[in-house]
Amino acid sequence: MDAKHDHKKLGRELGLFGTDPLIGAGLPYWLPDGAVVRHELEEYVRGEERRAGYRHVYSPVLGKRELYEISGHWSHYSEDMFPPMKLGEEEVVLRPSLCPHHAVIYRSRARSYRELPLRMAELGPMYRSELSGVLGGLTRVRAIQLNDGHIFCTLDQVAEEARGALRLIREAYRVLGIEAARYRLSLPGPGGKYVAAPELWERSVALLVEVLESEGIEYQAEEGEAAFYGPKIDVQVVDPQGREFTLSTVQVDFHQPERFDLHYIGADGAKHRPVMVHRAVIGSVERAVAQLVEQHGGAFPAWLAPVQVVLLPVGEAEVAQAAELVERCLAAGLRAELAGPELGSLGARIREHRLVPYQAVIGSREAAQGLVALRLRDGRRLDPLPAGEALARISARVAERRTDLWD
């Protein structure tokens, strides 16, 4: 095992997240630097979803037991759910998924075919009674921040919507520098875990196969990996220990629209049943960050980095100028900090900040001429640039979420 890229170890060393036995196994908290990464990731996803026509909602983390009886979670998924809480005559449950809430939001008023495809998204918490919740990690957690989305659409629209979701996933991987190990078509297996509706399963599988093939994506079909309500395309990633995880997913579901009696009024004036496409672009925030930490060894793409620019005055004489540049970086929306000579030699300070994408050195010559000498995290050293130009170029690259540091 390559300990350098173990996200638990790096998460502790880099001050990204932690756990405490008093909070409990599988219930990590996020420290300020980790919260920065998470926040940037969430904002990126929300922005991409908005551009792709999703509308965001918020829904509560609790629901009545009855909600999950209707959705089918109670009979097919209860071993992964926290036990219900008694509240007077009612029983409420920590939600094991966001789908039922979204189905209820969909049916909160009459829907017309003109509104379809209706794309609803939420980055919201869900809970899993993971018995093996591991202290210190983000990959086996009991509280999960899910990047969920549901598209309510007609049967004719399913393939195009699933295609759109796959494109969001692939674009996110490009910007995040995450590599997909393989695509899996997850089919039902033997046993009573899956809702029985052979004809609907067949139709859903055929739709997903059509999407995969038309996109030219190679995939492997595997039995026993489907959701209880339908088949899915899972995007698999591999951690440094060679273990495979599902990060992103696209699912077709005829079952929950039936259970919740969802409908829309068609052009013919009659009621029709929509199909639900479930999709997660980055899966859970926890798993996505674990993958980012391990894949990049803590050297995040600049737009995700907790600190993007470190200002390094060579001596005391340059400290005031460096401090002023920190202010200019902050005003430009960059995350910057000062590492002054009291912290040690220049070489030691550069080593200490080796994961910071841009290290701006200010010596006497730079200070006199209003320049900075940029060192990039990858070891490149650039000729001194006017400070304003350096800042503008860094800001532009961060705003574009570029994965390379310089031209």
| Residue 99 binds to Zn ion (criterion: CB under 5 A) | yes
If the CB atoms of residues 99 and 362 are measured against Zn ion, the closer one turns out to be: 99
Shortest Å distance, C-beta 227 to Zn ion: 8
If the CB atoms of residues 99 and 153 are measured against Zn ion, the closer one turns out to be: 99
Total residues binding Zn ion (CB under 5 A): 2
If the CB atoms of residues 99 and 293 are measured against Zn ion, the closer one turns out to be: 99
Shortest Å distance, C-beta 252 to Zn ion: 11
Q: Where are the beta strands (DSSP E) in 281-335?
A: 309-313
Name beta bridge partners: 85: 92
Shortest Å distance, C-beta 144 to Zn ion: 13
Shortest Å distance, C-beta 82 to Zn ion: 18
Which positions from 17 through 76 interact with Zn ion, judged by CB under 5 A?
none
Side-chain-side CA neighbours of 101 within 13 Å: the count stands at 24
If the CB atoms of residues 10 and 99 are measured against Zn ion, the closer one turns out to be: 99
Binding residue (CB under 5 A) for Zn ion from 7, 278, 349, 353 = 278
Site mask, Zn ion, residues 137-156, x = CB under 5 A? --------------------
If the CB atoms of residues 99 and 211 are measured against Zn ion, the closer one turns out to be: 99
If the CB atoms of residues 75 and 220 are measured against Zn ion, the closer one turns out to be: 75
Which span sits near Zn ion by CB under 5 A: 9-17, 32-40, 50-58, 97-105? 97-105
Among 214, 212, 215, CA closest to 233: 212
Cβ-based neighbours of 152, under 8 Å, separated by 6 or more: 106, 111, 116, 117, 118, 120, 257, 262, 264, 274, 275, 276
Among 394, 400, 375, 384, CA closest to 332: 394
Contact 233, 162 (CB under 8 A): yes
Among 145, 158, 135, CA closest to 233: 158
Shortest Å distance, C-beta 278 to Zn ion: 3
Contact 215, 180 (CB under 8 A): no
Which positions from 207 through 236 interact with Zn ion, judged by CB under 5 A?
none
Shortest Å distance, C-beta 91 to Zn ion: 22
CA-based radius of gyration for the chain: 24
Shortest Å distance, C-beta 195 to Zn ion: 14
Tokens of 315: 């001596």
Which span sits near Zn ion by CB under 5 A: 42-50, 78-86, 91-99, 136-144? 91-99
Cα distance between residue 85 and residue 89, in whole Å:
10
User: Which residue, chain included where needed, has tokens 């220049």?
Assistant: 346
- 400, exposed or middle or buried, with CB in 10 Å at 0-12, 13-18, 19+? exposed
| Residue 95 binds to Zn ion (criterion: CB under 5 A) | no
If the CB atoms of residues 99 and 162 are measured against Zn ion, the closer one turns out to be: 99
Shortest Å distance, C-beta 121 to Zn ion: 11
CA 86 to chain centre: 33
If the CB atoms of residues 152 and 358 are measured against Zn ion, the closer one turns out to be: 152
Which span sits near Zn ion by CB under 5 A: 93-101, 181-189, 190-198, 346-354? 93-101
Name beta bridge partners: 244: 238
Residue 284 is classified by DSSP as B
Shortest Å distance, C-beta 377 to Zn ion: 38
Interior/surface letters 204-224, b for 16+ CB within 10 angstroms, e for the rest: bbebbeebbeeeebebeeeee
If the CB atoms of residues 25 and 277 are measured against Zn ion, the closer one turns out to be: 277
Cα distance between residue 26 and residue 141, in whole Å:
4
Which span sits near Zn ion by CB under 5 A: 28-36, 94-102, 183-191, 312-320? 94-102
Binding residues for Zn ion (CB under 5 A): 99, 278
